[in-house]
Homo-oligomer: A and B are copies of this chain.
Amino acid sequence: MRKLNIAIVGLGNIGSYLFNYLKENKKILTEKNNCLPVVKYVSAKNKSKKRSLRINKNQWLKNYLEATKLNDVDLIIELIGGAEGPAKKLVFNALRNKKHVVTANKALIARYGDELSKIAEKNKVNLEFEASVCGGVPIIRLLKEGLIANKISKIYGIFNGTSNYILSSMDKENKSFNEVLFNAKKLGYAESNPSADLNGDDVSSKLKILSSLCFNSLLNDKIYVEGIKRIEKTDIDNANKLGFKIKLLGYAEKLNNKIYQRVHPTLIKKDSYVAGIDGVLNAVIVDGKPIGQSTIQGEGAGPAATTSALISDISSILRGNIKFPFSLSSMKRKKLKFENINERFFSAYFRFEVLDKPGVLSSITNVFSKNKTSIKRLIQNPNKNKKISSVIIITHDSKDKYLNKILKEISKKNYLKRKPKLIRIDD
């Protein structure tokens, strides 16, 4: 029987779950993949920390980088995290020393994936990162294998469970952003420092990886990113009244032969599939030819879902064969031009909190018309504080740069009492 020697580097929640999983499921994995996975070594920052793992003394590495040098290591599983520092060092050295690598590190792959895959290909080892995108939803394998026949024109969806939990709880439980965030932390749905989840960076990394796979392109940093931190309960309520939900969506799309990558809160029709995805779930929608639209949904995060993805990568390496990390060889992946969204058309939702006095509406609508943006709907609601009104405007399609100019110009008006809000709409 063939065997594969594994070193797990990083024994947090995910590493520990994986360690136990591999122990308990050794037999079935061996049978299915015709190769025995052996966890030869582990390494963790804090070796003396209490863990419910049965680790033999001789399994501990003195130094995590040892894994890249030992002859009896075939595969290194990197679960340190972060685009720089030890994770980067480990993965680069591992591939250079002809070790296979499996990683859950989206930041690392989104930043160094091109360089890393070149080394992997040169050294004929595998670099797999299913767990870096959407946890248990095997979207990378789906793009590289199940849907390999298809020319993808668009991929979009909910790629961050924390944000989605917060937005759907604000909607359903009638709570503010901060109340919901507090609960999310208590329930373990948000990390103690959730900034990458809330500012869109997490989705941004995932989207870069996905669009590179979809368009057979090198990774590209041209991406518009906006998180959910400025979404208020009022916006969610307004969206509801207008027939929409607010979701943090990531999009990579080819439109008239131009490629855009964008991450932002989006108003999306209530009866659409994506609007119905609540809580910590992830959902991905792929438009391709000849297949049409495919959709996949599942647990996006957590040790169980991530382990499911890691095991699919490990199994693929157990079965053998060297695959291109990004589906095509680095030499064949194209350096495509990605566009700024400035020139892309969107319809949008605006909210302005203004002094309730004559001339304000005419001033606002004037700014819209000057910026070539026609108004589809305008609703003015008096606030409890009677001197202030909410003006909500839904526009027809207009270029993103005009929408932003409107925002900027009205921000300067002295009748404006709070920072105005712009949320793009998905028709």
What is A's interface to B at a CB cutoff of 8 Å? 17, 21, 25, 28-29, 31-32, 34, 130, 136-138, 141-142, 145-150, 216, 273, 276, 289-299, 304-305, 307-308, 310-312, 315-316, 319-321, 323-324, 327-329, 332
Given A296-B295, A307-B290, are A141 and B145 neighbors across the interface (CB < 8 Å)? yes
Nearest B-chain residue to A297, judged by Cβ: B295
A299 contacts which of B34, B291, B321 (Cβ < 8 Å)?
A: B291
- Chain B residues contacting A130 (CB-CB under 8 Å) are 146
Known: A290-B304, A305-B290, A307-B290. A312 touches B148 (CB 8 A): yes
Q: Give the residue name and chain of the B residue nearest to A288 (CB).
A: B308
Tell me the smallest distance from the CB of A374 to a CB of chain B, in Å.
Answer: 34
Q: Which of B32, B305, B324 contacts A148 (CB 8 A)?
A: B32
Known pairs A148-B32, A149-B21, A311-B148; A305 contacts B332 (CB<8 A): no
- Contacting pair B291 A31 (CB below 8 A): no
Distance (whole angstroms) from the CB of A117 to the closest CB of chain B: 14
Shortest C-beta distance, A132 to chain B (Å), equals 14
Chain B residues closer than 8 Å to A328, beta-carbon distance:
31-32
Distance from A395 Cβ to chain B, minimum over Cβ atoms (Å): 29
Beyond A142-B142, A148-B311, A290-B308: 9 further Cβ-contacts under 8 Å? A31-B328, A32-B324, A32-B327, A148-B315, A149-B312, A276-B276, A292-B305, A294-B296, A319-B321
Copies in the complex: 2
- Distance in Å: Cβ of A336 to nearest Cβ of chain B: 15
User: Quick check: B145 and A308 within 8 Å, CB to CB?
Assistant: no
Q: Contact between A145 and B316 (Cβ–Cβ < 8 Å)?
A: yes
**7 A-B pairs with least C-beta separation:** A138-B146, A290-B304, A149-B311, A294-B298, A295-B297, A136-B291, A149-B308
CA of A185 to CA of B28, assembled, Å: 46
- Chain B residues lying within 8 Å of A216, measured Cβ to Cβ, are 28
State whether A147 touches B296 (Cβ < 8 A): no
Known: A148-B315, A332-B31. A136 touches B299 (CB 8 A): no
Q: Is there an interface contact between A150 and B308, defined as CB atoms closer than 8 Å?
A: yes
Can you spell out 14 A-B residue pairs with CB atoms less than 8 angstroms apart? A28-B216, A32-B327, A32-B328, A138-B146, A142-B146, A145-B316, A276-B276, A290-B304, A290-B307, A291-B298, A292-B298, A294-B298, A295-B297, A319-B323
Q: Using Cβ atoms and an 8 Å threshold, which residues of chain B touch A307?
A: 149, 290
Known contacts A31-B332, A320-B321: A297-B298 contact under CB 8 Å? no
CB distance from A110 to the nearest CB of B (A): 21
Residues from chain B with a CB closer than 8 A to the CB of A17 are 290
A296-B296 in contact (CB<8A): yes
Residues in B with CB closer than 8 Å to A312 are 145-149
Cα(A308)–Cα(B291), bound, Å:
6
- Complex Cα–Cα for A40 and B291 (A): 26
The distance in angstroms between the C-alpha atoms of A136 and B148, with both chains bound, is 11
Q: Is the CB–CB distance between A304 and B329 below 8 Å?
A: no
A292 touches which of B136, B149, B316 (Cβ 8 Å)? B136
Set of chain B residues within 8 Å of A297, measured between Cβ atoms: 294-296
Alpha-carbon distance A324/B319, docked complex (angstroms): 11
Pair B294/A149 contact, Cβ less than 8 Å:
no
Q: How far is the CA of A308 from the CA of B293 in the complex (A)?
A: 12
What chain B residues lie within 8 Å of A138 (beta carbons)? Answer: 142, 145-147
Contacts of A299 in B (CB 8 A): 291-294
Nearest chain B CB to A422's CB is how many angstroms away? 31
**What distance in Å separates the Cβ of A293 from its nearest Cβ neighbour in chain B?**
7
Say which residue of B29, B295, B298, B327 sits within 8 Å of A293 (CB atoms): B298
A323 CA / B321 CA spacing, docked (Å): 12
Which residues of B sit under 8 angstroms from A332, Cβ to Cβ? 31
